[in-house]
């Protein structure tokens, strides 16, 4: 089991391609003979994402079958596949998948996606989630969770462009006072990175602090 896990962890540094996808699928299959290891979601995501990009339906179906065997929770299975589509900037496909599965997307799912994106350093998942506001009908609490996680993801990665995109998403909110904590997080990381914050962010901060 340890050898198989080591191979999978190596795969996580580079997205596998071609025959490497089949090898990674085989390694995942072998894990099933040892039971269901913890912390396998990151490896499943990498392999599934590679299969998704390859447009090889057979490989994708194999990974989905493995996902069913490795993960008991329907929420986690739905969300892991969703992470792939969102990371590939295909939110419409994820919304369609939810509809086809007759699955209601809510706060628990948002929390899973936020945790996964933070742990695996995949902020694109969250950008796609809020990029079309009406698509997933996220409530205020969920949007706060997403914006806050985005700020942390990009801030810790020292990605000023990512922080800028987060602010562009955040400032579209009509009731910005309800997102004060997220605004403060974005501003905090601008300061930590010694980067110049956008002028409209500075203006809003002054207004909030009055």
Those residues with Cβ within 8 angstroms of residue 20's Cβ, 6 or more apart along the chain or in another chain: 11, 50
Write the pLDDT tens digit of every residue in 116-174. 999 999 999 999 999 988 899 999 999 999 999 999 999 999 999 999 999 999 999 98
CA distance 23 to 20: 5
205, part of any domain: yes
Q: Is residue 76 part of a domain?
A: no
Number of domains present in the structure of the chain: 1
In a domain, 202, yes or no: yes
Domain assignment of residue 187, given as a range: 151-209
**How far is residue 106's CA from residue 136's CA, in Å, rounded to a whole number?**
9
pLDDT averaged over 10-residue windows placed end to end, the chain, 210 residues: 43 50 64 54 82 83 80 89 95 96 95 95 96 91 97 97 96 92 96 96 88
Q: Specify if 161 maps to a domain.
A: yes
Put simply, whether the predicted model's pTM sits higher than 0.75 gets the answer yes
The whole-number pLDDT of residue 46 equals 82
Q: Are 63 and 48 in contact (CB under 8 A)?
A: yes
Residue 131 lies in a domain: no
Quick one: how far is CA 6 from the chain centroid? 23
Answer whether residue 16 is part of any domain. no
In a domain, 17, yes or no: no
At 175 the three-state DSSP class reads coil
CA-CA distance, 70 to 72, in Å (whole number)?
A: 7
Q: Is residue 101, in this structure, part of any structural domain at all?
A: no
């Amino acid at each position: 089991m340890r050898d198989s896990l080591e191979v999978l962890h190596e795969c996580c540094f580079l997205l596998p391609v071609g025959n490497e996808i089949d090898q990674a699928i085989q390694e995942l299959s072998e894990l099933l003979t040892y039971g269901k290891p913890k912390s396998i979601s990151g490896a499943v995501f990498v392999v599934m994402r590679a299969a998704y990009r390859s447009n090889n339906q057979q490989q994708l179906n194999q990974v989905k079958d493995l996902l069913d065997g490795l993960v008991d929770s329907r929420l986690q299975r739905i969300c892991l596949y969703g992470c792939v589509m969102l990371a590939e900037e295909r939110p419409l496909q994820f919304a369609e998948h939810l509809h086809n599965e007759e699955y209601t997307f809510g706060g628990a799912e948002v929390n899973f996606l936020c945790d996964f994106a933070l742990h695996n350093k995949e902020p694109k998942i969250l950008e796609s989630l809020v990029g079309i506001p009406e698509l997933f009908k996220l409530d205020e609490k969920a949007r706060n969770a997403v914006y806050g996680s985005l700020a942390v993801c990009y801030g810790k990665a020292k990605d000023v462009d990512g922080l800028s995109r987060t602010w562009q998403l955040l400032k579209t909110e009509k009731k910005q006072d309800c997102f004060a904590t997220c605004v403060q997080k974005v501003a905090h990381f601008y300061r930590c990175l010694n980067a110049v914050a956008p002028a409209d962010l500075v203006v809003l901060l002054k207004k909030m602090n009055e």
